[in-house]
Structures are given as structure tokens and as C-alpha cells.
Amino acid sequence: MSSEKVLSSASASASAPLASPHAELCRGINGLDKVVLRDPRGSSAEVYLYGAHVTSWKNDHGEELLFVSSKAIFKPPKAIRGGIPICFPQFSNIGSLEQHGFARNRLWTIDADPPPFSTTSSSKTFVDLILKPSEEDMKIWAHSFEFRLRVALGPGGDLLLTSRIRNTSVDGKPFSFTFAYHTYFSVSDISEVRVEGLETLDYLDNLQNRERFTEQGDAITFESEVDKIYLSTPTKIAILDHEKKRTFVLRKDGLPDAVVWNPWDKKAKAMVDFGDEEYKHMLCVEAAAVEKPITLKAGEEWKGRQELSAVPSSYCSGQLDPQKVLHGS
Ligand code: TA6
């Protein structure tokens, strides 16, 4: 779909009312519609209807916690470089679709009438978006689905993404898919970052023909390009930014795998929508379902959640033991 068509249909598709009093529909970069979520306690988030793409998550001090490249191209059909791209119905380039599927390259609409959420989430600051396949989409992936995404801010400023994908085929056909929340975290200096919670796990190394290895380190640190798919990972992963004295905690449900990616210098230079030095200030840790595709029978629904929080961490004082973060409440 050309960018002009996306723009014109955006305003039409975005016209549905927003259920939350703390959500506002407005125009973003290049006139693309976005929804701004402002929690009364000060945290905020932004999600473009294009790709249902979260491009900002700020804490109650107004600090930006996600990375978006200064060279990101907010122009369909190119995916926005940074934030939280939604990878569906395929993660990676294994399969017949383009890398990471097409959900992040489509215009979503406001879901005016979402089925009730079973979660206990009491968030009042949220937006519900929905994607259904177009006729064009059916030509490249012949499956009927409804993909509902809720983006919400929790009481403590946490960012909650809940995906509900239903197989709506009328011919009884099942389908399988792989999925990732391709989250780009903003970090002060990648060489001062550690990831806890993935030690001793097996992973597929995209830099070594996706061969399977076992993580030996007692924490993951970064001195060069990393592109690993950790398998059967715990529900909690911690990303520690030493310089900022901040720990991101990623909690996930329905997403057994976790991708860790930093392009480092060579790949950074090769990406037109990524600054040469920007690899120093970002890290992707992605809640995913990759090793074992998810299969839905006709009428079945899958739910995949990720909850991000940012907590102060001053390891030098021993105040926050990473193991407590990972194994605590
Ligand atoms: O999640 C890691 C990865 O699969 C890397 O292999 C790299 O390709 C990255 O995604 C970015 O992919 P994109 O299609 O967004 O440029």
C-alpha cells in the first residue's frame, strides 16, 4: 500500500472512539496517526496506528526508555526502526514472508468493541488496536485472523502489551505462526549493560547459521554483534544499565523464547535507517515464540503478553540483587 493511501485511510480508520480518558488520537511524524497515552501519575507512551508500533515509553520523570533511531523512516511500507515492532505472522526470514512478517507494515485501526479482557489489569490508560488481513494479505498468507493488541500503562508506569490472535477461518483451516515483540531498549552505553536470566540456556546463534549452543556466561555482556534466540526462557529477564543505575525488567507470558540483538558497528553502518554510532545506545531483548511455532485451530485464540518496568538499580550498594529481581515477586 502506498504511503499516500496509508495516510488517507489512516484518518478514516482511526475515527473510532477511544475507550480510555487518558488516550488521545493525534497526528505524528509525516502525518501518521498515533495514540498518546498519558497516565495521571506522569508516565506516558505513544503508539502509531501504522504497525501498532509503540515508539515511546516515558517514566514519570519524562525520561524516554525506548530507543528509536534518529534515522527511522516513518513512511510506509518501511517499518519504523526502534520502539516495539510487532513481528507476526513470522519472526526472522525463515518462511515465505518478508523478514518479521507484515503486521508492522500495516495500518491498524482502533478496536472500538474489543471482547472483555480476562486479565486483572486495572489500567485505565490504554488503547485497543486491531488488524485483520486484507485481500492482498490473503494472497501472501492465506489465513483469516483477528489480531487485537492492547497497549496500556500500569499504575507504576509499567508498559503492558497484550496480543490476542484468533483464527477466524470459516473453512476450519488451522494456521501456525511465529511471533516477537521486537523491543528496542534505550541504554546509556552497551558496553556497560548486562542481561540476567538467560544464563545456562540453549540458544540458536543467527551469526553461526542458527546453530544451537548453550550459554556459558554468568551474565550476558556485549563486546561485539550479538544475534541469539534463547530457548525456553524464564518469565522474567533483567537488563541492567550500569551507568544509568537502571534495570529493565521484562516479564512475559505465552512467549517461551527471547531474542537478544545488537548489530554493533558493521551492521549499524549497513542500515540506512540506523545511525553508525547508535548501536552503543540500544539493545533489543525480544519476548518471542520462535523455536516452536504456535498453531491455532479454527476459532482458537492465543494470548501473548509482555510487561516492561524500569527500576532503579545500584549494584554497587548491593541494594538490588539481580537474582531477587528475577526470582522475586
Ligand atoms: O531480532 C533480531 C533480528 O532478527 C536480527 O537478525 C536483525 O535482522 C533484526 O532482527 C532487525 O530486523 P529488521 O527486519 O527490523 O531490520
- Please choose, from the candidates 161, 191, 156, 325, the residue with its C-alpha nearest in 3D space to the C-alpha of residue 264: 191
**Cα–Cα distance between 33 and 11 in angstroms, integer?**
7
Range scoring the smallest mean pLDDT among 19-33, 49-63, 243-257, 306-320: 306-320
Is residue 81 marked as binding?
yes
- Asked if residue 316 has pLDDT above 50, the reply is no
Atom of ligand 1 nearest to the CA of 271: 16
Mean pLDDT score, 205-210: 97
- Asked if residue 54 has pLDDT above 60, the reply is yes
The pLDDT of residue 218: 85
Strand order across the 53-58 sheet = 23-27, 33-38, 44-48, 53-58
| Residue with CA nearest ligand 1 atom 4 | 92
Asked whether the beta carbons of 286 and 258 are under 8 A apart, the reply is yes
Mean pLDDT score, 177-204: 97
Mutate to test the pocket of ligand 1, among 73, 204, 227 (most ligand atoms within 8 A of CB): 227
Mean pLDDT score, 95-118: 91
**Cα–Cα distance between 166 and 297 in angstroms, integer?**
9
Atom of ligand 1 nearest to the CA of 100: 14
Name the H helices within the chain.
3-13, 135-140, 264-270, 322-327
DSSP state string for 258-300? EEEEE-HHHHHHH-TTS-TTGGGGEEEEEEEEEEEEEEE-TT-
DSSP one-letter code for 109: E
Pairing mode, if any, of strands 193-196 and 236-241? antiparallel
Confidence of residue 296 (pLDDT cuts 50, 70, 90): very high
The pLDDT of residue 207: 98
Ligand 1 centroid distance, CA of 33 (Å): 25
The pLDDT of residue 117: 78
Domains of the chain: 23-327 (2.70.98.10)
CA dihedral 33, 301, 177, 268 (to 10 degrees): 40
- Ligand 1 contact via 227 beta carbon (within 6 Å): yes
**pTM, whole model, 2 decimals?**
0.93
| Residue with CA nearest ligand 1 atom 6 | 227
Residues 232-266 have pLDDT tens digits of 999 999 999 999 999 999 999 999 999 999 999 99
Atom of ligand 1 nearest to the CA of 79: 15
Ligand 1 centroid distance, CA of 266 (Å): 14
| Residue with CA nearest ligand 1 atom 14 | 99
Is residue 251 marked as binding?
no
